[in-house]
Protein backbone atom coordinates (compact mmCIF):
# COMPACT_ATOMS: atom_id res chain seq x y z
CA UNK A 1 0.00 0.00 0.00
CA UNK A 2 1.48 3.34 -1.03
CA UNK A 3 0.62 6.64 0.56
CA UNK A 4 -1.03 7.73 -2.68
CA UNK A 5 -3.24 4.65 -2.54
CA UNK A 6 -4.16 5.49 1.04
CA UNK A 7 -5.11 9.00 0.01
CA UNK A 8 -7.35 7.62 -2.71
CA UNK A 9 -9.06 5.32 -0.19
CA UNK A 10 -9.76 8.31 2.05
CA UNK A 11 -11.02 10.37 -0.89
CA UNK A 12 -13.34 7.52 -1.94
CA UNK A 13 -14.82 7.51 1.55
CA UNK A 14 -15.20 11.29 1.59
CA UNK A 15 -16.97 11.10 -1.77
CA UNK A 16 -19.66 8.99 -0.12
CA UNK A 17 -19.75 10.90 3.16
CA UNK A 18 -19.89 14.34 1.54
CA UNK A 19 -21.42 13.69 -1.88
CA UNK A 20 -21.96 17.38 -2.68
CA UNK A 21 -18.26 18.23 -2.44
CA UNK A 22 -15.96 18.66 -5.41
CA UNK A 23 -12.91 16.52 -4.65
CA UNK A 24 -10.94 17.14 -7.81
CA UNK A 25 -8.54 19.65 -6.25
CA UNK A 26 -8.20 18.64 -2.63
CA UNK A 27 -4.86 19.90 -1.38
CA UNK A 28 -3.09 17.11 0.50
CA UNK A 29 -1.29 19.36 2.96
CA UNK A 30 -4.33 21.48 3.92
CA UNK A 31 -6.74 20.46 6.65
CA UNK A 32 -9.74 18.75 5.11
CA UNK A 33 -12.14 20.86 7.18
CA UNK A 34 -10.53 24.02 5.87
CA UNK A 35 -11.26 23.16 2.25
CA UNK A 36 -14.38 20.96 2.42
CA UNK A 37 -17.70 21.20 4.21
CA UNK A 38 -17.06 18.48 6.76
CA UNK A 39 -18.35 18.50 10.33
CA UNK A 40 -17.56 16.33 13.32
CA UNK A 41 -20.27 13.83 12.40
CA UNK A 42 -18.68 13.46 8.97
CA UNK A 43 -15.37 12.60 10.59
CA UNK A 44 -17.15 9.95 12.63
CA UNK A 45 -18.46 8.64 9.31
CA UNK A 46 -14.95 8.48 7.90
CA UNK A 47 -13.82 6.55 10.97
CA UNK A 48 -16.82 4.23 10.63
CA UNK A 49 -16.15 3.56 6.95
CA UNK A 50 -12.47 2.78 7.64
CA UNK A 51 -13.73 0.26 10.17
CA UNK A 52 -16.41 -1.21 7.92
CA UNK A 53 -14.54 -1.30 4.63
CA UNK A 54 -10.98 -1.89 5.77
CA UNK A 55 -11.14 -3.22 9.33
CA UNK A 56 -9.06 -0.29 10.55
CA UNK A 57 -9.66 1.14 14.01
CA UNK A 58 -8.90 4.78 14.73
CA UNK A 59 -9.00 5.44 18.50
CA UNK A 60 -10.69 8.69 19.49
CA UNK A 61 -7.45 10.17 20.79
CA UNK A 62 -5.96 9.76 17.33
CA UNK A 63 -8.74 11.45 15.30
CA UNK A 64 -6.50 14.50 14.77
CA UNK A 65 -4.28 12.26 12.64
CA UNK A 66 -7.03 12.39 10.00
CA UNK A 67 -6.80 16.18 9.63
CA UNK A 68 -5.38 16.31 6.09
CA UNK A 69 -4.85 13.85 3.26
CA UNK A 70 -1.11 13.85 3.99
CA UNK A 71 -1.61 13.15 7.68
CA UNK A 72 -4.14 10.45 6.80
CA UNK A 73 -1.55 8.83 4.54
CA UNK A 74 1.16 9.02 7.18
CA UNK A 75 -1.10 7.58 9.85
CA UNK A 76 -3.13 5.01 7.93
CA UNK A 77 -0.60 3.54 5.51
CA UNK A 78 1.27 1.61 8.26
CA UNK A 79 -2.09 0.34 9.52
CA UNK A 80 -2.95 -0.97 6.06
CA UNK A 81 0.50 -2.59 5.89
CA UNK A 82 -0.06 -4.26 9.28
CA UNK A 83 -3.17 -5.81 7.79
CA UNK A 84 -1.05 -7.11 4.91
CA UNK A 85 -2.47 -4.66 2.38
Partner 1 sequence: MAFQPPRIVITGIGLTAPNGNSLAEYRQNLLNGVSGVQKMDVRYMGECLAGICDFDALKYQKRKEVRVGTRAGSISIYCAREAVTDSGVDWDNVTKDRVGVYVGTTEHGNVETENEIYAISKFDYDTKFWSHYHNPRTVANNPAGEVSLNLGITGPAYAIGAACAAGNLGLIHATQMLRLGEVDFAICGGVSESIHTFGIFAGFKSQGALATHEDPTKASRPFDQDRNGIVVSEGGALYTLERLEDAQKRGAKIYGEIAGYRVNSDASDYVLPNPTRQAECVRQALTAAGIAPVDIHIVNTHATATPQGDIQECGALREVFGEGCPDTHINNTKSFIGHSMGAAGALELAGNLPSFDDLTVHPSINCDNLDPQCDLPGLVLNKPRKVEKVDAILNNSFGMLGINSTLIVKRFAA
Beta-bridge partner residues of 63 = none
Query: What value, to the nearest 5°, has the Cα angle with vertex 74 and ends 27 and 34?
Result: 30
Beta-bridge partner residues of 68 = 31
Span 48-77, contacts to partner 1 by CB under 8 A: 48, 51-52
Closest approach of Cβ 13 to partner 1, in Å? Answer: 13
19 near partner 1, judged by CB under 8 A: yes
- Choice from 22, 24, 29, 41 touching partner 1 (CB under 8 A): 41
CA pair distance 84, 34, nearest whole angstrom: 33
Residues that bind partner 1 (CB under 8 A): 17-20, 37, 41, 44-45, 48, 51-52
Amino acid sequence: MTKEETKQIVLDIIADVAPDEDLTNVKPDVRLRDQLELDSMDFLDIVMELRKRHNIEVPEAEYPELASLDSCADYLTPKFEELGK
